[in-house]
Amino acid sequence: MSALLSKTLVRLIYKASDGITVSVELKTAPAGLCQRTDNHAGTSVSPATLEDGHPLANQLAQLCGHFKPAGWTVRYAQLELQECSVLTELCINIQRKGEAADTPFICRVGEIMLLDVASLQIPTEQVQDLRIYDVVWLRGAGPSMEPVSSCLHLNATLQWKYPTKLIRHFKVYWRRLRGPDPRIPPGQLVLVGRAYSNLYRVTELVVPEPPSLIELVIEPVIRKGFLVPESQWGRRSLSYTEDTTQ
């Protein structure tokens, strides 16, 4: 059971066949009944759908970076409670528009998120103390898999500090800052992988030839789905020469 606050915002992401509508129904019980075993003591409530353009829907969409994957529907709803309650069940209602008929359909649920309206803000914590150690350089075939291709591979352990209770996972990126050709501008961030703790091992990452300067970046992906500003990400540069990669 989870406690529900007086104002709860619900975000539902789904993909369904034409003519199919999807909504969320919650079963709640007064907080004083949470120790009882009577499953029939709860009350079913349906959050009120927020229309497009509603201030709360706009605020959450902005915090999440206006996330709307192709082919998926994003719906927002709000639940207001007059007393302290706990969530005992969460149900999904699937309805078909028009007359009743045996018609096959598809419905996929991507995410159901319940948020306290008062908590619609990005955490202020920053990724701190990003360290790079146990660095190993190797030579091997590049992405082209051609025999003549002998690329430089970076293997290294990354460790940092950030409250893991806030996150779903971390995204690990890298980019070239400088070298070996000084005429080439810095590159864009490239995703390396995901980390589910404050530790990640980079393996066989193809990097530019020495002398070069690269940057490794850690982006927190928090449970609420809000985008964390880049100013709060962790960054550490790594410089290397021909001698250090031998």
87 and 179 together in one domain: no
My answer on whether 135 and 110 are in the same domain is no
DSSP per-residue letters across 42-55: -EEE-PEEEPTT-H
* CB-based contact 221:167 (threshold 8 Å): yes
Domain count, the chain: 2
Domain shared by 113 and 148, yes or no: no
- pLDDT of residue 189 exceeding 90, the answer is yes
Is residue 167 within a helix (H) or strand (E), and if so which, with residue range? strand 167-178
The share of the chain scoring above pLDDT 90, in percent, equals 41
In a domain, 245, yes or no: no
Please check whether residue 1 lies inside any domain of the structure.
Answer: no
By three-state DSSP, how is residue 139 classified?
A: strand
Q: What is the CATH number of the domain that holds 236?
A: 2.60.40.10
In this structure, is the dihedral angle defined by the CA atoms of residues 220, 77, 91 and 67, taken in order, positive or negative?
Answer: negative
Percent of the chain whose predicted confidence (pLDDT) is above 70: 87
If asked whether residues 64 and 82 sit together in one domain, one would say yes
Model confidence over 119-157: pLDDT tens digits?
888 889 999 999 999 999 998 866 655 554 689 999 999
Model pTM? 0.78
Q: Are residues 135 and 112 in the same domain?
A: no
Task: Write out pLDDT tens, residues 12-60.
Answer: 999 998 888 899 988 887 766 555 545 555 688 888 888 888 888 888 8
The first and second tokens of residue 116, run together, are 């306290």
Q: Is the pLDDT of residue 64 over 70?
A: yes
Query: Domain residues for 193?
Result: 128-240
Same domain, 51 and 110: yes
- In angstroms, rounded to a whole number, what is the distance separating the alpha carbons of residues 138 and 148? 16
